[in-house]
Every structure is written in C-alpha cells, then in structure tokens.
C-alpha cells in the first residue's frame, strides 16, 4: 500500500514526455462523436504519432476504418459511471502524453480518472453538442456544475463550431475562456467520394426522385416533421423518401406515415453500411433536427454534392451552409417551410457543385493539422 502511495506521488511530479496520444471513448458505437475520434486518431497515427484508442464497452463500430497503427485498448465493459477506475489504472500504467475525450459524460470520467491516477497527462476535452441543447431537466439543472467539474482541469476545450464555443463561454467561468479552441470535425472527403461512386441502391431504383433523411430515429432528429413535410410534397410532385437509421421512434414514425397516407412512398432502410451512395444518388438530402452539435451527416451530404435542406437549428447548420447556393435553411419544426424547400431542390439539377466545394473547407487534413498543432503547443 505504501509503495503504491509513493509511486503515485512520484508520478505526480514526473512529466510525461514520451507517452502516446490516448483518445478515450466510453463505447465504440456508430455515432457522430465516435466517428470524429476515430478520424482524428487515425489521422494522427498516419502522421507518425503514437496513438491509442481507449474504449469501454464491447461495441466495434468503425473498427474497420481505424488506421493500422492505432493501438486499440479495451477497458472492462462497465457502465460509464464506473469507467473512471479502469481508466485511471490505464493512465497509471501508460502515462499518455495527452488524454483526449469527447462528450460531457466521457469528459467527466476522464477528469475524475486523471485525478485518481495522479498523472500529468495533458487533457483535451471536446464538447460535441451545444450546452443549450441539453434536453433533460436534470441535465439543465446540473449543467453548470457538471461542466465546471469536467473542464476545471482541462488544458484545452475543443468546440467544433463557433456557436458551440460561444455557448460554452456563456456557461463557464471567464478564467476558462482562453482554453476554448475551435476545431471543426474532420471529414474524409476522398473516402466519402470513393464510397459515393458505388451503384445506386436498390431502394432508389426507378424514375422517382429520392429524398434522403439519415440519423438516429429519435426525438432530437424530428423525422416526424420530415414525414409531414413529405406528405405536403407528394401533393405536388411524386417522389420517394428513404430514411436511413434506427432508433426508439421507428414504430411511431411508421404509424405516422400510415396516418398521413404516404407509407407506399416511404422506405425505412435501417442502418446501412454505405450511406454515401444514397446521398450521391438522392435528389435532396434533408436534415430535420431540433438541435445538433456540428452535424457530420450534413457535411457528408455536401461532400457527395447533394442538394441540401436543413433546419436552422442550434447549432452548426447556419455555420456550414454559408449561403443558399450551398443548401437551404428552414425554421425548426415547420413542415410547410420544409416542404417548400424540398420542392425547390427537387427542381434543381441533381448535383450541386457549390455544396461539394463547401465540403472541402472541412477536409480532414485541415482539422487534423489544427489538432496536431494544438497538441504540440501544449508540449
């Protein structure tokens, strides 16, 4: 016991010069934040950095896309609230140069684990979604305390966009504002284009123009608004709506499609291995969300040259779609405005060069370079 205490004290005062860059995720599910961390980890590994991806849980999403030089470290599959202990054990053993975490729950676990381990790893936390978008009452009540606990020890807090950065500043003490840095999500455009070039999916075959929605079938994504808008579209123009994704709202959305009388024109395609070929062959891509962080799927659709319609929700879409040539913004939860925008895009040419050009501003190499420079600055 005494030896462990002595070693902990020694580690506290010994700097970490040669440890790896460790990216922490509570689970490797198929999600936006997980995609961002895999892209960053792989990009830095490809540039010769020693990188480890430290994962709790047993999910294996995106593993096939992980760079061969990224070392995958599996923590015991326990609940997020219990991950601080195995993560602290990892930190004591490996003593990474930098620990990077994303999402407020994982950031809090990483902060606690670092204190338990007594290491001097630099801490970089990423806020994946605007604080104002927290939906649950307990989250709203404890939000300031949670963020103070998360970020008091952080060397840098990454925001993917300006709106998220401003909301963080409004919720954190002024003494932390200089630590907030904006680094957009890394979008692997060349890989997206390769996958987008695959043949048109079977559910999109035929002469009908296709409208695509993609995301978790959850209240946040507001697919019920898209269904209501699409019902209005069908009154003026024949088309097919293809929804990609699964979630708790699927049965409710299927019932709504039945009530609206549009079931024959709506396909619930579930989770697909390659959504990009759907985006590339669609006439219109629609993001119907009530809120976002900095939506990867919108950037991916732009990269495929899709005609885009997006709600002007918090946060991200208005920063991404800088002008109507790149895509159309509509109010949140407004089926009529969404239907009008979809009809406008259905009459546009099938490919949008302005959208594809805008996506280039978010090329992965630019974001990876920004993170690499940030890590170098921390020393």
Which residue would you say has higher pLDDT here, 183 or 64? 183
Report the alpha-carbon distance of residue 303 to residue 297 in Å, rounded.
Answer: 10
- Residue pLDDT, tens place only, 40-82: 999 999 999 999 999 998 778 888 889 999 999 999 988 888 9
- Residue pLDDT, tens place only, 89-116: 999 999 999 999 998 889 989 999 999 9
All residues at 6 or more sequence positions from 199 whose CB lies less than 8 Å from its CB, including other chains: 277
Torsion angles phi and psi, residue 98, rounded to 5 = -140, 135
User: What is the DSSP code (8-state) at residue 357?
Assistant: H
Report the predicted TM-score, pTM, of the whole model to 2 decimal places: 0.85
The two three-digit tokens of residue 366, written as one number: 């630019």
Comparing CA positions, the residue from 161, 155, 96, 151 lying closest to residue 128 is 161
- For residue 137, the model assigns a pLDDT of 45
Q: Contact, 338 vs 230, CB < 8 A? A: no
Q: Contact, 211 vs 283, CB < 8 A? A: yes
The two three-digit tokens of residue 111, written as one number: 């902060």
**CA atoms 43, 276, 328, 326: torsion sign:** positive
- For residue 130, the model assigns a pLDDT of 61
Say whether 214 sits in a helix, a strand or coil: strand
């Amino acid at each position: 016991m005494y030896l462990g205490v002595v070693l902990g004290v020694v580690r506290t005062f010994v700097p970490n010069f040669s440890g790896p860059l460790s990216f922490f995720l509570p689970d490797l599910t198929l999600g936006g934040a997980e995609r961002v961390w895999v892209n960053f980890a792989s990009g830095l590994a490809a540039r010769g950095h020693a990188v480890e991806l430290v994962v709790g849980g047993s999910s294996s999403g995106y593993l096939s896309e992980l760079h061969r030089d990224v070392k995958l470290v599996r923590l015991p599959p326990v609940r997020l609230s219990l991950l601080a202990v195995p993560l602290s054990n990892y930190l004591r053993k490996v003593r990474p140069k930098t620990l990077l975490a994303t999402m407020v729950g994982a950031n809090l676990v990483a902060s606690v684990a670092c204190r338990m381990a007594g290491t001097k790893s630099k801490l970089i936390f990423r806020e994946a979604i605007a604080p104002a978008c927290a939906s649950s009452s307990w989250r709203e009540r404890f939000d300031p305390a949670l963020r103070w606990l998360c970020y008091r020890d952080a060397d840098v807090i990454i925001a993917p966009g300006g709106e998220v950065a401003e909301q963080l500043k409004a919720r954190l003490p002024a003494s932390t504002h200089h630590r907030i840095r904006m680094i957009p999500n890394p979008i692997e455009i060349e890989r997206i284009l390769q996958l987008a070039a695959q043949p048109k999916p079977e559910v999109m075959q035929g002469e009908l123009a296709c409208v695509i929605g993609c995301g978790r079938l959850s209240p946040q994504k507001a697919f019920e608004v898209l269904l209501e808008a699409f019902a209005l579209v069908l009154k003026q123009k024949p088309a097919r709506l293809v929804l990609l994704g699964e979630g708790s709202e699927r049965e409710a959305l299927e019932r709504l499609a039945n009530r609206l009388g549009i079931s024959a024109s709506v396909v619930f395609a579930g989770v697909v291995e390659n959504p990009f070929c759907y985006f590339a062959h669609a006439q219109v891509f629609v993001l119907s969300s009530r809120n976002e962080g900095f939506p990867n799927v919108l950037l991916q659709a732009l990269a495929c040259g899709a005609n885009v319609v997006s709600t002007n929700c918090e946060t991200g879409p208005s920063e991404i779609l800088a002008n109507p040539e790149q895509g159309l913004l509509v109010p949140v939860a407004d089926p009529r405005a969404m239907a009008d925008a979809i009809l406008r895009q259905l009459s546009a040419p099938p490919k949008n060069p302005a959208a594809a050009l805008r996506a280039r501003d978010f090329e992965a190499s630019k974001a990876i370079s920004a993170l690499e420079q940030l890590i170098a600055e921390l020393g």
